[in-house]
Amino acid sequence: MDKNLLKDLESSLEGTLHFDKLSRALYATDASVYRKVPMAVTFPKGKNDIIKLILFAKQHHVGLIPRTAGTSLAGQCVGDGIVVDVSKHLTKIIQLDVEGKTVTVQPGVIRDELNEYLKEYGLFFGPNTSTSNRCMIGGMVGNNSSGTTSIQYGVTRDKVISLKTILSDGSQASFKSVTPSEYRKKMNLNTLEGSIYRELFTELQNKKIQQNIKEEFPKSSIHRRNTGYAIDELLHSSLFGGHEDEINICKLLSGSEGTLAFTTEITLQLDDSPPPLAAMVVTHYKTLEDCLQDVVPVMKHNLHLCEMMDKVILDCTKNNREQLSNRFFVQGDPAALLMLELKDDSEDGLEGNLQKLLKTIEASGLSYANPILRGNDIIKAIALRKAGLGLLGNMVGDRKAVACIEDTAVALDDLNDFIGEFTQIMKGYGQDAVYYAHAGAGELHLRPILNLKRADDVSLFRSITTDVAKLTKKYGGSFSGEHGDGIVRAEFIPMMLGEDNYKLLTRIKSYFDPDHIFNPGKIVDAYPMDESLRYEIERKEPEIKTIFDFSDSEGILKAAEKCNGSGDCRKTHLAAGGMCPSYHATKNEKDTTRGRANALREVLTNSAETNRFNSYDLKEVFDLCLS
């Protein structure tokens, strides 16, 4: 694009717009395996800036990629258009209704910091991701995030009451629950909002379309369902033959990955703070199969958390200085363990529930150790589990635990059989997969270990993903439980939901966004899942001489490549273990450890390709690394 057009756009904004090489490189990746260099990066200060950006994108056929903390694992917030980062300025808690237990926030509010604010009122926002100390509410809504607490408090979609948005023509629209009569009034509006209501009504009152949705979408018993748009949720309305008196388009927007509208305000339903007393039983197993067999019986108890870690994840924590002390409860060398947490308002109630759970565990006889944790020890154990995802990306060398099939969700009764067939698929590919995460929700983050710098492994990347997609479809599961479709899974939506339902999704996208300016290449008209990868395939690895010894990481380049983009370094001064005081002050991505690693990686690889260092690039990296 002509830089003069970008300069004109920049001068019209209250916020800032950057299209220098460094800024674009910093936003070319997220926590996924993808790299797409954007045209520009902008930090809007309010909805007027967002409207201007939308009108610019519409006029010049440019994509807008919404972004908060950039912790997406599926490539949701990378693209070659303009990245719209709301994490710096749109960070206000707007209104709290204590009696109604609701809060209205801008999309850049951090989840844990929201809960810290709510604590004195005895309220909290339930969904709790492993990135909760830096992930933001806008990203959680766009991704329909779940986390460890979903078995007790539900997913983000369940908590969204209303959304203030800007549509693809620059008009503003508020979505919330409406009655059938209110819905029909909306249909009479001579606006894009009115057109959306009319088109959705026409589509979803069609009995054949309803039947296709019911037959092809994931089983309704799976509460983590992020494959495509959640049109199945709208069928619960009496407008379309369901039993609910109201309908809320927010159900559709939640999990839509910013492809339908741009959200500026979010109103959430809150819960009372969790019971204050807790106990956790950590069951240890000699085999993965034994661990999985215990999931269904223990889930008959009122658990607040049921999480699994396998040996690969546990071994990653051995070499991490911060997490080593959090392994205090691990006995022996388990193949897998379950973290089972109970909570209650009274000691008697907690003790009674704990004894019932222990009887169930004893009756199965599958675990060899069952330590009981209380108080601060539970916090340490949960910190260990949360750290697992980021530590996976720190594997030394080019072989990494790759996010592609890590988000499958199936009905709890299908979990053991699904994992059995999954294991056979992986054995067929000579793979030792990583088994990790939300066992109680029927979702395990299953990852193959691949070297995506090699053509053979990129081919495996596609083959393994395809075979696991077919297996997930066989069990009526969701190919994305909580991490979203992004780039890595969107290509498989026609397989997962059926061709007719996929065509319906593309029509819904066109009703909201006829020019496809909102996050193109995600959910519909998907980018290929095995292109735009972070690393050049079959590249000749550069030999870079350094004064310091980086042999423990196989060289300085691979040390930089150990940063998988999970964004732990974006924790603010309010979170424990903050890394970057400069980021605390500036809230600029370039001042994060991730930003510095990305800049260093870009320079080292680009310089290697040209067999020389570009002095301008190198100076930028030195400035970043020394600041």
121 is a domain residue: yes
Q: How many whole angstroms separate alpha carbon 366 and alpha carbon 334?
A: 12
What residue spans of 342-434 are helical by DSSP H? 347-364, 376-392, 415-428
Residue 170 clears pLDDT 60, i.e. is over it:
yes
Question: Which residue, chain included where needed, has tokens 């092809």?
Answer: 216
410 is a domain residue: no
Same domain, 291 and 364: yes
Query: How large is the angle between the packed helices 347-364 and 288-298, nearest 10 degrees?
Result: 140
Burial classification of residue 397, based on how many CB atoms lie within 10 Å of its CB (0-12 exposed, 13-18 middle, 19 or more buried)? exposed
Residue 624 clears pLDDT 60, i.e. is over it:
no
Number of domains, the chain = 4
Q: How many residues does the chain have?
A: 627
Strands 82-85 and 64-67: parallel
Same domain, 71 and 126: no
112 is a domain residue: yes
Residue 616 clears pLDDT 60, i.e. is over it:
no
- Among 246, 272, 298, the domain boundary falls at 272
Is residue 151 within 8 A of residue 161, CB to CB? The reply is no
Q: Which domain holds residue 55?
A: 3-85
492 is a domain residue: no
Using alpha carbons, list the distances in angstroms from residue 376 to 345, 382, 383, 458, 614: 17, 10, 11, 43, 51
490 is a domain residue: no
Q: What is the DSSP letter of 349?
A: H
- Among 237, 272, 307, the domain boundary falls at 272
| Per-residue confidence (pLDDT) for residue 620, from 0 to 100 | 53
| Per-residue confidence (pLDDT) for residue 444, from 0 to 100 | 80
Q: What is the CATH number of the domain that holds 210?
A: 3.30.465.10
Mean pLDDT of 387-402: 76
Q: How many whole angstroms separate alpha carbon 280 and alpha carbon 489?
A: 35
Tens of pLDDT along 7-32?
999 999 999 999 999 999 999 999 99
Beta strands in 382-530, from DSSP E residues, in sequence order? 400-401, 436-437, 449-450
Is residue 484 within 8 A of residue 492, CB to CB? The reply is no
| Per-residue confidence (pLDDT) for residue 540, from 0 to 100 | 85
382 is a domain residue: yes
Using alpha carbons, list the distances in angstroms from residue 81 to 2, 26, 523, 525: 13, 14, 17, 16
Residue 606 clears pLDDT 80, i.e. is over it:
no
- Among 392, 416, 433, the domain boundary falls at 392
Question: Residue 623 — pLDDT band, cuts 50, 70, 90?
Answer: low
Is residue 475 within 8 A of residue 418, CB to CB? The reply is yes
Query: How large is the angle between the packed helices 376-392 and 311-318, nearest 10 degrees?
Result: 100
Instruction: Report percent pLDDT > 90 for the chain.
Output: 77
Q: How many whole angstroms separate alpha carbon 376 and alpha carbon 226?
A: 34
Is residue 159 within 8 A of residue 167, CB to CB? The reply is no
Residue 627 clears pLDDT 50, i.e. is over it:
no
Beta strands in 167-276, from DSSP E residues, in sequence order? 172-178, 247-248, 262-269, 271-272
Residue 612 clears pLDDT 60, i.e. is over it:
no
Tens of pLDDT along 78-93?
999 999 999 999 999 9
Residue 625 clears pLDDT 50, i.e. is over it:
no
Residue 608 clears pLDDT 80, i.e. is over it:
no
Tens of pLDDT along 357-385?
999 999 999 999 999 999 999 999 988 88
Reported pTM: 0.92
Question: Residue 614 — pLDDT band, cuts 50, 70, 90?
Answer: very low
Same domain, 222 and 283: no
Which has the closest alpha carbon to 509: 306, 253, 319? 253
Same domain, 70 and 138: no
Write b or e for each residue in 471-504: b if 16 or more Cβ atoms lie within 10 A of its Cβ, otherwise e: bbbebbbbbbbbbbbbbbbbbbbbebbbeebbeb
Q: What is the mean pLDDT of the chain?
A: 92
Strands 82-85 and 40-43: parallel
44 is a domain residue: yes
Mean pLDDT of 34-44: 97
Using alpha carbons, list the distances in angstroms from residue 186 to 177, 179, 191, 201, 252: 12, 11, 9, 11, 16
| Residue 367, amino acid | S
Same domain, 185 and 249: yes
Is residue 451 within 8 A of residue 399, CB to CB? The reply is yes
| Residue 427, amino acid | K
Better-predicted residue by pLDDT, 268 or 148 = 268
Residue 609 clears pLDDT 90, i.e. is over it:
no
Tens of pLDDT along 196-236?
999 999 999 999 999 999 999 999 999 889 999 999 999 99
Same domain, 118 and 228: yes
Same domain, 242 and 383: no
Question: Residue 489 — pLDDT band, cuts 50, 70, 90?
Answer: very high
Tens of pLDDT along 246-283?
999 999 999 999 999 999 999 999 999 999 999 999 99
Question: Residue 610 — pLDDT band, cuts 50, 70, 90?
Answer: very low
Instruction: Report percent pLDDT > 70 for the chain.
Output: 96
Same domain, 294 and 266: no
Same domain, 121 and 263: yes
Tens of pLDDT along 302-331?
999 999 998 988 888 887 778 888 999 999
Per-position DSSP letters for 329-347, written without gaps between them: T--S--SEEEEEEEEESSH
Q: How many whole angstroms separate alpha carbon 625 and alpha carbon 620?
A: 9
| Residue 265, amino acid | E
Question: Residue 542 — pLDDT band, cuts 50, 70, 90?
Answer: confident
Same domain, 213 and 315: no
Mean pLDDT of 572-577: 85
Question: Residue 148 — pLDDT band, cuts 50, 70, 90?
Answer: confident
How far is it between the farthest Cα atoms of the chain?
72
Mean pLDDT of 24-43: 96
User: Which of helix, strand or coil describes residue 293?
Assistant: helix
Using alpha carbons, list the distances in angstroms from residue 383 to 280, 284, 317, 322: 13, 18, 11, 10
Burial classification of residue 576, based on how many CB atoms lie within 10 Å of its CB (0-12 exposed, 13-18 middle, 19 or more buried)? exposed
Q: How many whole angstroms separate alpha carbon 98 and alpha carbon 143?
A: 26
User: Which of helix, strand or coil describes residue 440?
Assistant: helix
Q: How many whole angstroms separate alpha carbon 535 and alpha carbon 598?
A: 12
Same domain, 213 and 248: yes
115 is a domain residue: yes
Mean pLDDT of 561-569: 89
Q: How many whole angstroms separate alpha carbon 438 and alpha carbon 128?
A: 12
Q: What is the CATH number of the domain that holds 365?
A: 3.30.70.2190
Q: What is the CATH number of the domain that holds 76?
A: 3.30.43.10
Is residue 14 within 8 A of residue 50, CB to CB? The reply is no
| Per-residue confidence (pLDDT) for residue 446, from 0 to 100 | 80
**The two structure tokens encoding residue 472:** 């997930």
Question: Residue 615 — pLDDT band, cuts 50, 70, 90?
Answer: very low
Same domain, 128 and 209: yes
Question: Residue 578 — pLDDT band, cuts 50, 70, 90?
Answer: confident
Q: How many whole angstroms separate alpha carbon 471 and alpha carbon 482?
A: 18
As a 3-state breakdown, the chain gives helix, strand, coil percent values, each rounded to 5, of: 45, 15, 40
Q: How many whole angstroms separate alpha carbon 576 and alpha carbon 597?
A: 22
Using CA atoms in the order 29, 71, 151, 301, what is the torsion angle rounded to 10 degrees?
100
**The two structure tokens encoding residue 454:** 């090699």
